[in-house]
Amino acid sequence: MHITIKYFGQIAEITQKGEESLEFSGALISELMEQLYEKYVPLKDKDFKVAQNQELVPLETQVSGNEIALLPPFAGG
């Protein structure tokens, strides 16, 4: 499956990009994260949440193919 991942704030600083397309053959968000941890080792130490289709989702969620985003701690206001 071809998926688009968006990176923000401190996470984008690590990935050095705001967005990328990846080939993903697993099922769960947690598996996608494993794939990303291999690609971006420092991600492992970072605090972030995952949004799919603009909603925060737990790691056990099925990857639907919709837009996925890695969101570091919020700092609005």
Partner 1 sequence: MKDKKIKNVFRQGAISSEFIGESIYKHQTKTSIGAHNIFLGQVRADIIDDKTVSAIEYTAYEDMANAKFHDIREAAFEKFELTCMHIYHSLGTVKAGEICLFVFVSSPRRKVVFEALEFIVEAIKADVPVFGKEIFEDESHQWKVNT
Choose, by CB under 8 A, the member of 3, 22, 28, 51 that binds partner 1: 51
Strands (E), 1-77: 2-7, 19-23, 49-52, 55-57, 68-71
- Shortest Cβ 9–partner 1 spacing (Å): 3
- Contact between 45 and partner 1 by CB under 8 A: the answer reads no
Exposed / middle / buried, residue 46 (Cβ in 10 Å: 0-12, 13-18, 19+): middle
- Contact between 10 and partner 1 by CB under 8 A: the answer reads yes
- Contact between 76 and partner 1 by CB under 8 A: the answer reads yes
Place of tokens 């737990």: 58
- Residues contributing to the site for partner 1 (CB under 8 A): 6, 8-10, 51, 54, 69, 71-77
